Amino acid sequence: MTQRTFIHGFHAVLSRLRHHPGSIHVIYLDEGRRDKRARDVLRLAEERNVRVIATEAARVDDMAHGRSQGVAALADPVRLARDLEELLEDLAEPALLLVLDGVTDPHNLGACLRSADAFGAHAVLAPKDRSASLNATAIKAASGAADHVPFIAVTNLARTLRELKDRDILIVGADQDGVQSVTDADLAGPVALVLGAEGSGLRRLTREHCDVLVRIPMYGRVESLNVSVSAGVCLYEASRQRGRAEV
């Protein structure tokens, strides 16, 4: 049986209404909201024949287990690629994957999904254990990207990286001790960009499975970037080399 869940926040709910309205069972909207975003929800819901229930703001927050911005939708998960094999079989262009190693903050996961969507990544991969899951917080932070970019949780990350290598996908790890700048790496072909958690970075076994380690040039006084920012920089460079990004 498909497990329904609450998604919340205006970006997430409006994106679901625009692209997958059939997955929504009902929307709960703060009865006190009269602003443009609330009106957009009401208009789109009416156009797509989705029921909206006006209710107290506190009840909407309870559905979201926190701050909801005043809107929550009970919905089925969107049908995207469920595993790596299914994803790669359907690709008609060189794979661009974002692999997250040990990222446990759902806000960071959501932001990484947002960058992945912005720069044309085909999926975000992460281990099932000791990693953030695609929960309501991550979906909200993704601002709609979770409806378009598959998030694939894998049982064994090292084995998955080996499987990608067997498919001739270059494994590029982002590390402050990387041997070359990300701008000098060849990211135009099939590639998986691997990033670790802020602070701890890539785990030793993950590093060993990378074909090359790259660094992001830093010119200021800070020593590191948030993982979602690093993901955006690396994905932009890959997208630029593939001719997608404006330069």
pLDDT above 70: percentage of residues in the chain: 98
What per-residue confidence (pLDDT) applies to 64? Answer: 81
Out of 3.30.710.10, 3.40.640.10, 3.40.109.10, 3.40.1280.10, select the CATH number for domain 84-241.
3.40.1280.10
CB 173 within 8 A of CB 192: no
Bridge-partner residues for 99, per DSSP?
125, 194
What per-residue confidence (pLDDT) applies to 68? Answer: 79
Q: Say which CATH superfamily domain 5-75 falls into.
A: Ribosomal protein L30/S12 (3.30.1330.30)
What per-residue confidence (pLDDT) applies to 2? Answer: 55
Q: And the tokens for 226? A: 């948030």
Q: Collect all residues with Cβ–Cβ distance below 8 Å to 23 and sequence separation of at least 6.
A: 16, 75, 76, 77, 78
32-65: pLDDT as tens digits:
999 999 999 999 999 999 999 999 999 999 988 8
Q: Which of the four pLDDT bands, split at 50, 70 and 90, describes residue 247?
A: very low
107-118: pLDDT as tens digits:
999 999 999 999
Q: What is the pTM of this model?
A: 0.77
pLDDT at 92 over 90: no
157-199: pLDDT as tens digits:
999 999 999 999 999 999 988 889 999 999 999 999 999 987 7
Q: 166: number of CA atoms within 13 Å, CB side?
A: 9
Domains of the chain by residue range: 5-75, 84-241
Q: How far apart are CA 76 and CA 92, in angstroms?
A: 28
pLDDT at 66 over 90: no
What per-residue confidence (pLDDT) applies to 1? Answer: 45
Which candidate, 110, 128, 102, 131, places its Cα nearest to that of 195? 102
pLDDT at 12 over 50: yes
